[in-house]
Structure 1
Amino acid sequence: MDRLVKAEAKEVEVMFSKGQKCSSTFKLTNLMHTMSVAVSLTTTNPSLFSINKPFSIIPPLSSSSYTLHLTHPSDHPPLSDPPDAVTVRTTMLPTGKAPADHLRRLFSKPGPHLFRDAVLTISFVGPHVAQFLISQTSQSRNHFTKGISSLHVVKLLEASGCGINDTVLHEAAATNRIDAMEFLVERYGDELDLDSVDGEGRTAIHVAAGEGHVRVIQFCVSMGGNPNLVDWKGWSPLHYAAWGGHVEAVECLLECSNVKGVRDREGRRASCVAAEREESEARRRLLDLLRDQNGWSPLHWAAFKGRIKSVKVLLEHGAEVDTVDDAGYTPLHCAAEAGHLQVALFLLAHGASQANLKSFPRLAANFHSSKITSLHFLSN
C-alpha cells in the first residue's frame, strides 16, 4: 500500500496580507474502506507555522479539514529556499479512537507501521506577495527562491484574484523591473491600463520618474502611457524627475511630454521644484534643461510675476541672480519691466547687476516714472 490518505491539493496556499494573521485550510481523505487512520502533521518550520490539529483520526472513507496558521504577522512573506512544507504521516488505527498522548507516542517511534503519505509545499499568494517579489533585486530574489520570474508573479496575481491595474505595476516601475512590466503587458494586452493611478493619483510613469528609471518611462510611453498626466497635488512626471534630481529622466520626459510649463497646485513649475534642490551640478543641469522656450529660468518668472517670496527662496537655494534669457534679460530686467520695484530692490541687494539697464529704454522709462530715486538705476 502506497498511502493511507490523499491530500486534496499538492500545495497549501496561504493568502498573505501585510501585518495580518494569515491561514489556509486544506483537506485530507482516508482511502481505507474499513479502517480508521491516525494522522500526524508537522511543518519544516514550527517557529513560523502552527496547525490546529497536529494529531487526528479520520474514519474510513471520510475527510477531515486542517488549518495552517502563520504564527506571527509580518510585513514580508516568509519565503524560503527550498520552500517550507507540511509533512503528512499516517498509521492504521484498528480501534478507531485514541487519546492525543497515545497518538503522540505512536508517531514518535519510527517503524514500518508509519507511512509518509505526502509533503505539501507551503506557498504564499496575494498582491502583497507579488509586490514583494517584484520589488526584489535579482540577487535577493535568487537568495530565497531560484528561478523566480515574471511568470511566477503573474501566477500569484491570478491565484489571488488581484486586479491587473493594482499597484503591482507601480511597484515594478519603482524598482526598475521592466521585465515584469513587459510580461504583464504581453499577458494582459489591451486589458492593462498603464495610466491607472495609486492612492496619490500617480501613474507608473510618475513613479518611474521619481526614481529616475528612464527605460521604464520609455517603455510606458511606447506602450501608450500618458506622460502629461498630473497627480492629486498637480505634479507631472517632470515634477517628480526634477525633484529627484534625475537629469536623464528630465531629458527623456522633455522629449516625450508637453508639461514643461505645467504648474502644480502651489503654482510651481518643474523648474521651480528643481531650484529648491541643494546646490549641485545636477541641479544646475536641471535648471538649464527646464528653461522655457524663451530661456527664462524660475528666477526670471518669479521676478516678472512679482513673487518676492519665491525670489527669496530661489536665491537662498543658489539661483544665479544675473542669469540671462535668450534676449539678454536678467531677472532684474524682468522685475523692472513689470514694475515690481520691491523685487528689483531685493535683487539689487543680492548683487544683481544694473549695468545693462540703460540698453533697455522701456525699462529705463518704467523706473524713471516710479520716482524711486534711491535705486539709481540710471546713474552713470
Structure 2
Amino acid sequence: MALLEFLLANGGTPDWTDEDGWQPLHYAARAEDIRSSRILLEAGPTPFDLDFGDGVIEQAIKSNRPESIVAIFDSTFYPQRSLVRTRRLKSFELTPIQFAAGSTNCYIIELLLQRGGHPNENPAYYGGRTALQEAAEKGRMAMISLLLNADAE
C-alpha cells in the first residue's frame, strides 16, 4: 500500500492504461485487493470502462469476493447506470447479473440486484438466456431461489 500511496502522491495517475487496456483498478479488483481498490477509487474519477471488455466489475466478479464489488459500488465515482446495461464479454453480451450467475457466490447476485441490476435482462447475443437459466443449468439452487424472489423469469 505504501508504494501505491507514494506513487499517487507524487504524480502517479490511477487512470494509467497498459498495453492490454487494463488500469490499476482492474488489477486490484482481480487480485481481491480491497484496500488498493479503495485507494485507487478515492484517488479521483478515472475513465475506466465498466461496461465493455474486461471491465472492473467483471474482474471483481471473477475474484468471487463481494468486498471488491462493494468497494466499487461505494465509490462516489461509480456510474450506477452500468448495472442495467448490457456489457460485452468476449463474443457475447452479458449483464453483470448474467455473468455472476455463472459463479458460485449468491451474495454477488444479491449485491447486483440491490444496486439496480435487472434479473430478466436478456441480451440477444447470449442466445436469449437469462441469469435464471444460467443458474439453473449450473444447478445453483440457492441462486435460483434468490433470482426467483427477485421476479426473474
* TM-score normalised by length of structure 2: 0.74
- Give, in angstroms, the shift of residue 261 of structure 1: 3.0
Residue aligning to 1:250: 69
Q: How does 1:251-330 map to 2 (within 5 A)?
A: 251-256=70-75, 257-258=78-79, 259-265=82-88, 266-277=92-103, 279=104, 283-291=105-113, 296-297=118-119, 300-302=120-122, 307-308=128-129, 312-317=133-138, 318=140, 319-320=143-144, 323-325=148-150, 329-330=151-152
Residue aligning to 1:184: 7
Q: How does 1:127-166 map to 2 (within 5 A)?
A: none
Cα distance in 2 for residues equivalent to 1:254 and 1:218: 10
Q: Secondary structure at the match of 1:260?
A: helix
For the pair 1:230 / 2:49, whether they are aligned, the reply is yes
Preserved contact between residue 208 and residue 217 of structure 1 (Cα < 8 Å): yes
Cα distance in 1 for residues equivalent to 2:117 and 2:65: 21
Residue aligning to 2:60: 241
RMSD: 3.0
Cα distance in 2 for residues equivalent to 1:274 and 1:306: 17
**Bigger share in strand:** 1
Cα distance in 1 for residues equivalent to 2:148 and 2:130: 19
Per-residue CA deviations over 1:154-174 (Å, capped at 9, x if unaligned) read xxxxxxxxxxxxxxxxxxxxx
Between Structure 1 and Structure 2, how many residues are aligned? 140
Cα distance in 1 for residues equivalent to 2:129 and 2:43: 43
- Say if 1:180 and 1:316 are closer, same or farther in 2 by CA, change over 3 A: same
- Give, in angstroms, the shift of residue 213 of structure 1: 0.9
- Say if 1:302 and 1:323 are closer, same or farther in 2 by CA, change over 3 A: same
- Say if 1:222 and 1:185 are closer, same or farther in 2 by CA, change over 3 A: same
Cα distance in 2 for residues equivalent to 1:267 and 1:239: 12
Preserved contact between residue 97 and residue 117 of structure 2 (Cα < 8 Å): no
Q: Identity of paired residues, percent?
A: 17
Cα distance in 2 for residues equivalent to 1:262 and 1:295: 8
Larger Rg: 1
- Say if 1:263 and 1:292 are closer, same or farther in 2 by CA, change over 3 A: farther
- Give, in angstroms, the shift of residue 185 of structure 1: 2.2
- Say if 1:199 and 1:261 are closer, same or farther in 2 by CA, change over 3 A: farther
- Say if 1:296 and 1:225 are closer, same or farther in 2 by CA, change over 3 A: closer
- Say if 1:296 and 1:308 are closer, same or farther in 2 by CA, change over 3 A: closer
Per-residue CA deviations over 1:169-191 (Å, capped at 9, x if unaligned) read xxxxxxxxx111112223x32xx
Preserved contact between residue 241 and residue 250 of structure 1 (Cα < 8 Å): yes
Between 1 and 2, higher relative CO (CA 8 Å, sep ≥ 6) is seen in 2
**Bigger share in helix:** 2
